[in-house]
Structures are given as structure tokens and as C-alpha cells.
Amino acid sequence: MFENTQITSQLPDVSKLDFKAIDKKYLIVLVLNFLIFGAVISIGLFFLIEERLKEFPEYAFYFYTLVAIILMLTLVLRIFGFYKRKYAVREHDISYKKGVLVQYVTTIPFARIQHVELEEKPFSRFFKLASIKIFTAGESGGDLKVHGLPKKQAKKIKEFITHYINE
Amino acid sequence: MNETFDFSEFSKQSSKGIIVNYFIILYKVLKSSWVLIPILLTKDTSEFNFTKILLTVLAILIYILIRAILIYLNFKFKIKENAFILKQGILNKSNISVPFEKIQHVNFKQNFIQQLINVTQVEIETAGAKTVEISIKALSREKAVALKKALFAKKKEIVTIEKAKPIKETLHKISVKELLKISISENHFKSLALLFAFIFSGYMQVKDFLETLELDEKLDALLEGNASSVLGDLFLILVLFVLSFIISVIISFVTTFIRHFNLNATLEDNSLEISQGLITKQSNIIKKQKVQSIEVLTNPIQQKLGIYNVFFKQAVSGKINHKKIIKVVGCSKDQINVFKNLLFLNTNFDNEEKHKPDSYYKSQLFFRSFLFLVLLNGVFAIFSTSLFFINIFLVPLLILLVLLKYKKSYYFLNKNMLVIGSGQIGTKTTYFEHFKLQRITMKHTFFQKRKGVVNLVLQTASGKITLPCIRTKEALEMYNFMLYKSEISTEKWM
């Protein structure tokens, strides 16, 4: 007869996994990305709304402070979020942790992976970083992206998974 | 009488395929150009030259005919080395090769025209990273059956179909009377709410329209005759309510009939075949390995009548495609047990403990309902304060729904499977085998962390299954256990 508890106690435990932080340099990439995002939003808002705001000059100050606060909050969340991004690769699966307000731990068994991609965006390339993208079958919700890995490490993981899938 | 089909050489569709192609293109042309019609109609008619129009239409029709013939001539398929090979395309030639193991299922379909000229459409669906869907528009029934057999048989390019009756065991058949019963007992509240919202928003616009028709005054007189305007609103809402109820019953009648007419579930060689449909006959084969999870739905009325609806959720490629969720209505409990035993290894939950979500789930649901109420009242405040009286009905209803939702959510776990109960008015039971798990996620907000609960999200090839607010220790055990089951499994999961 099957006993659940016995097996459970012997099973590899995700909570005891040694999660590794992603590369420190990725924080710079995140900030740079944010600066571009912030600049685009600010310039866009300025051109869109400046004309209308002239009619209510008394609100303009509040409006811009609000935008600034929202942008600052996003930046703070991103920076905190950076320290929460952690990954772990085991023999048969890959796990990833992230999130500040809502925290996630997720695991994908290698056996269920359809294919793996390595992605290098301009900023990341400059710092010799890469992202790993993992695709499972079916709905796109089953995918996993791990950003900010040292390129060598990312390549190693990719090869490891590809080897596992093709076996 | 036996008929032999050889698929090792390239073969074309039935020549009737030209007709099918013709109507498909015609339909596409009409669909993409119907926007032009009102533009043309609003133009000054004196500018029209009838012979010119006639010639244009004729030219378009001839163009479509030529295209249909060319598509037919360039559409060839064969079977070679355990793969289905298809050549198609007039100018952009494409050559598709689908290995047998990638084929998810083969469906037969007949739309109205195909039924008229007696041909069958064969659809070959595959799952995976790339979306490949092959649809052969017109084959004779015998050839279609032979092709299906050839695709599922291994290393056979020549297939003989015996016209003698195949050994099929009918599991489930539905009569018109039962269909009626099902469509009446369906949950009309959902469609009712939608319709009600639709009509209500429509009413705002109709009101303006009525004003221009000066019918408004008559209506006002009628309503004012009924004393205060609150009563008038109530009266109007009641009328709308009854009206939309009738409409939603009719809609569900019609859709159930169109989709599930002549529903027939048969068992052949351990594979389940389901055919149904009034205008478009559809027949699907459900393969054990492709089914990711099944859902059994019922509501209080249907439960009393012993009616259960079963959804077979299969692996999808790209976005969720509702065609791949196969629905079988009006099953009995015994039939569901047959389905379960057919599809799953171990469906025994007798000795297992029933788990409930943490009571924090209730608080979460109450909080969400409260937010919804606040938002709704905000909207009311903008429109008309007299709408606030709706809260009298809404508040108890929301409380009831939250309590029902909590009461109905539970899960069972045995060594192979997970059973999840959910629902509010209706009841939904999801059956899922651990080894089909593709990705598992534990997720918690700040508040959930403080209470020591997490949401467990199971990702399968056919979508997400969420277990809300489970105590962290339990969730972690499941997380480890299900991952373990998925990783040691050597069975094909899709």
C-alpha cells in the first residue's frame, strides 16, 4: 500500500534548495532600462498633456508630483525586486524565485521543456550577460525567463537542458 | 465489400473539393469586404452603372473559381515513413511533413455544404512549439476513415477498410428529449447577468433613440401613472429581467442543439470517439495521452436530474483554442466513471483525506467582493443615486456566493492524481494526473505570507489549475511530490 508521508519525507525539497542570486551587473541593466522607460513616459506625457494642463495651472504641480512618485515607486520596486530574483538548477529541473509584493517560486522539470533559447539584449550584451528562455508545450503561460545570468553560465545551463531533452 | 486505399502515392482530394474551396473563398471574400457594402449603399445611386457592377461581380466569381480549382490541383498528400506529407500552395509552395507521433488527433468535420455534397473534412492537429494544423477539405467518408486509420496505425501505407460493421461499443448517446432537459437546466444566471448588463447599457442608448421617436412621452406617462420614478425603474428592471431570462433560455436551447445534436460517444480499441453537431458534424478521437485534465460540471438542478457535463482538456499549441476542449453533455455518474477509468491510472480516492483551503481564502473572497461593491457603488453614484437600492439584493447575494465558493473548494490527492473541487452555484470537479505537470508555482502576497498560506498554480499543456490559499506546509509537500512524480515519469504526457 502506498503511503504518502513516507515518500514525502525523502523527497528532494524545494524549500531547502540553495538558490543563487543573478549577476550583480544586471541591476545596472535594470536601472538603465528603467531610465529609458521613464524618459519615454515623461516625454510622452509632457507632449500629450502640457497643452491641456495650461488650462488648469493650479493642478499641474500635483499632476507632475504624482507622476514622479509613481515612477520613483516603480524604480524602488525594481531595485528591491532585483534582490529577490534567484535561480537554482537541479539534476532534473530548474527553479526560479522572484517578486516583492507578490512572491513566486516556480519549477519546471526538464522533461517537460520543449526548447530553450538564449537571449542577449544590447545592455546585457555590454555587461556580458544573457537571459535564458524556457518554453513548455501548450499555453504560453508555462514559459519561464531567467534574466541577468553571466553569459557563460547561461550557455552552460542551456546546453545542459538541451542535452537532457534530446536524450 | 472492401475498399483499399493506397496512401504511399500522392493523392488529391475528392473532386468535389473544388466546390468546397469555392465556398470557402467566397465566404472569406464576403467576410473581408462586407464593410464596403454600407459605404457603397450610402453613395449616390445615380452614379452606379449596373452592367459595370455585374461585370465586376462576375469577374470576382470567376477569379474565385479559378483559385478554387488551382488550390484543388495543388493540394496533394501522402504517407511516407511514418509521416504525413502534404504539398500545397499555388505560388507559395509549401511542403509539410508531420511525423505520426506529433499528431495529436484527427477530427472529422462536415459543414453545411460538405454535408450537401457528401464529403468529409479531415483535420489533423498537432501540438508542440510550432503550430501545424492541416485541414483536408473534401474526402469521401471511406477515404477519410482509411486516412485516419493509416495515421494511427504504424507503418501502414495501404489500408483496407472493411465495410462490415466495426466493433464499437456505444457509451453514451443522447436523444432530443435529453438535450431539451440539459439546455433548460443549464445555469442561466451567467448568461442572464451578461444579457442584463448588455440590455441595460443598451437601454441608455435606446432612451435617446426613444426621445427622438417621441415614444418616450408615452412611456413616461405609463411610468408616471405607476407613481414614483423608483417604482418605474423597478418595473422596468423587472420587465428586462424576465425578458432577458427568456432570451437566455432560448439562446442556450439553440446553442446546445447546434453543438450537441446527435451526440454519440463510442469506445473502439480503448480510444474514445465523440461525434456531435447539427450544422457542422464533428467527430473527435480522444487519446489517453493527450488528455491533460478532465472537468466535470454540474449545477444544483442538473445534479438532481443526474446530468453531468464533461470537458476533456487536451494539449493546445499557442493560445487556448476552444475547439480542443471537447465537451460532452448529459452524462450520468456511471459514464463519468467509465471515462475516468479509461483515461486515468488510479481513480481511487476512498482512503484519502479531503483537504480544504485555509479559512483565509474566505477573507480574501470577502475582501474582493467588498472592493467590487465599492467600485459598483461608485459607478452608481455617477449615474443615479436611486440605483443604490440594488445593494439590498446584491450584498446578501455576494455573501452567499462567497460562502458557497468556500464550501465547494477542496482537493483530494492520491499517489497518481489530484482532484480539485470548485464552483459557486455550479460545481466543477477537475481531475488531473500528477505526471502531466509542466510547471508548478507557489505564489503568495504579503498578507498570505503572514497567514502562512500560498496559492499553488499547476501549469499543464492545456492551461492552468489554481489551488487557492493552501497552508504553506501542505503546499510545499505537494510541490515536492508532484515535481517528483513528473520527473520520474517515463510515460508520454502529450
Among the partner-chain residues A2, A101, A139, the one whose CB lies closest to the CB of B463 is A139
Nearest chain A residue to B319 by CA distance is A139
Distance from CA of B186 to the nearest CA of A (A): 29
Closest residue on chain A to B459 (Cα): A142
CA A8 to chain B, closest CA, distance in angstroms equals 6
How many pairs of residues across A and B have Cβ atoms under 8 Å apart?
113
pLDDT of A4 higher than 50:
no
User: pLDDT digit string (tens) for B414-447?
Assistant: 888 999 999 988 899 999 999 999 999 999 999 9
> In chain A, which residues have their Cβ closer than 8 Å to the Cβ of B483?
12, 14, 93, 107, 109
Under 8 Å between Cβ of A88 and A17: yes
Q: Suggest the residue from B131, B352, B450, B487 to mutate for an interface test with chain A (most A CBs closer than 10 A).
A: B487
* Polymer length in residues for chain B: 494
pLDDT value of position A9: 60
- Best mutation target among B130, B441, B489 (most A Cβ atoms within 10 Å) is B441
Nearest CA in chain A to B462: A138
Q: Nearest CA to CA, how far is A104 from chain B (Å)?
A: 4
Give the pLDDT band of residue A86 (cuts 50, 70, 90).
very high
Confidence at residue B270, expressed as pLDDT on a 0 to 100 scale: 66
Q: Which of A153-157, B116-120, B185-189 has the highest mean pLDDT?
A: A153-157
How far apart are alpha carbons B471 and B361 in whole angstroms?
10
Say what the pLDDT of residue A128 is: 93
Nearest residue in A to B442, CA atom:
A105
Calculate mean pLDDT across residues B373-392.
84
**C-alpha R_g of chain A:** 21
Confidence of residue A93 (pLDDT cuts 50, 70, 90): very high
A-chain residue closest to B128, CA distance:
A137
Element (DSSP H or E) covering residue B53? helix B50-73
- Tell me what pLDDT residue B306 has: 87
Q: What confidence category does residue A21 fall into, taking pLDDT thresholds of 50, 70 and 90?
A: very high
Residue B481 and residue A11: Cβ atoms within 8 Å? yes
The beta-carbon neighbor of A106 closest among B318, B441, B461 is: B441
Quote the minimal CA–CA distance from A5 to chain B in Å. Answer: 9
Q: Do A136 and B459 touch (CB under 8 A)?
A: yes
Q: Cβ separation of A107 and B479 shorter than 8 Å? A: yes
pLDDT of residue B155: 45
Question: Between B315 and A35, where is the model more confident?
Answer: A35
Average pLDDT over residues B298-321: 80
CA distance B73 to chain A (A): 34
pLDDT at B411 over 80: yes
Of A107, A137, A140, the CB nearest to B440: A107
Select from B314, B346, B460, B480 the residue whose CB has the most chain A CBs within 10 Å, as the one to mutate to test that interface. B480
B165: exposed, middle or buried (Cβ count in 10 Å: 0-12, 13-18, 19+) = exposed
Nearest C-alpha of chain A: how many angstroms from B378?
22
A138 closest CB neighbour out of B440, B449, B461: B461
The arithmetic mean of pLDDT across residues B204-217, rounded, is: 58
Contact B470, B358 (CB under 8 A): yes
- Residue A18: Cβ within 10 Å count: 7
CA distance B417 to chain A (A): 12
pLDDT at B162: 46
B351 secondary structure, DSSP code: T
Contact B137, B149 (CB under 8 A): no
Is a pLDDT exceeding 50 seen at residue B164?
Answer: no
Q: Does A162 touch chain B (CB under 8 A)?
A: no
Alpha helices in B153-228 (DSSP H): 176-185, 188-213, 215-225
Contact between chains at B445 and A139 (C-beta distance less than 8 A): no
Mean pLDDT of the region A109-115? 89
Q: How far apart are CA B390 and CA B41, in angstroms?
A: 45
Which residue in B414, B460, B476 is closest to A15 by CB distance?
Answer: B476
> Closest-CA residue in chain B for A9?
B477
Of residues B55, B480, B112, B460, the one with CA closest to residue B289: B460
> Which member of B449, B462, B483 has the closest CB to residue A138?
B462
For A3, nearest residue in chain B (alpha carbons): B415
Among the residue ranges A79-88, A92-101, B203-212, B482-491, the one predicted with the least confidence is: B203-212
Of residues B188 and B310, which shows the higher confidence score? B310
Residue A3 has pLDDT above 50, yes or no: no
**Chain B contact for A102, CB < 8 A?**
yes
DSSP alpha helix (H) spans, chain A: 4-10, 26-53, 57-84, 122-126, 151-166
For B453, name the nearest residue in chain A, comparing CA atoms only: A103
Mutate to test the interface with B, among A136, A139, A164, A167 (most CBs of B within 10 A): A139
The model's confidence at residue B375, banded by pLDDT at 50, 70 and 90, is very high
User: Which residue in A4, A112, A113 has the most chain B C-beta atoms within 10 A of its own C-beta, making it the best mutation to test that interface?
Assistant: A112
Contact B319 A107 (CB under 8 A): no
pLDDT of B31: 82
- Give the residue among B158, B337, B170, B334 at the shortest CA–CA distance from B268: B170
Task: Give how far Cα B361 sits from Cα of A104, B374, B409, B448, B481, Å.
Answer: 18, 20, 10, 9, 23
- Across the interface, whether the CB atoms of B476 and A106 are under 8 A apart is answered no
- Whether the CB of A48 is below 8 Å from some CB of chain B: the reply is no
For the cut 60, the answer to whether the pLDDT of residue A2 exceeds it is: no
For residue B322, pLDDT over 60 is answered with: no
Chain A hits for B479, Cβ within 8 Å: 14, 107
Chain B residues within an 8 Å CB radius of A103: 443-445, 449
B219: left (phi over 0), alpha (psi -120 to 50) or beta: alpha
Q: Which of B311, B346, B314, B259 is nearest to B125 (CA)?
A: B314
A138 φ/ψ sector (left φ>0, alpha ψ -120 to 50, else beta) = left
A-chain CB neighbours of B320 within 8 Å are 139
Could you tell me which residue, B427 or A52, shows the higher pLDDT? Answer: B427
What distance separates the 2 farthest-apart alpha carbons in chain A? 78
Which three cell numbers, joined as nine digits, stand for B322? Answer: 476552444
- pLDDT of B225 reads 52
Helices (H), ranges, B226-322? 229-260, 300-305
Put simply, the answer to whether A93 touches B464 (Cβ < 8 Å) is no
Contact between chains at B462 and A144 (C-beta distance less than 8 A): no
CA-wise closest residue to A95 among B105, B373, B483, B173: B483
Interface residue A93 vs chain B (CB under 8 A): yes
**Long-range Cβ contact pairs of B244-248 (< 8 A, separation 24 or more):** B244/B192, B244/B195, B244/B196, B244/B199, B245/B188, B245/B192, B247/B195, B248/B188, B248/B191, B248/B192, B248/B195
**Cβ–Cβ contacts within 10 Å for residue A46, how many?**
12
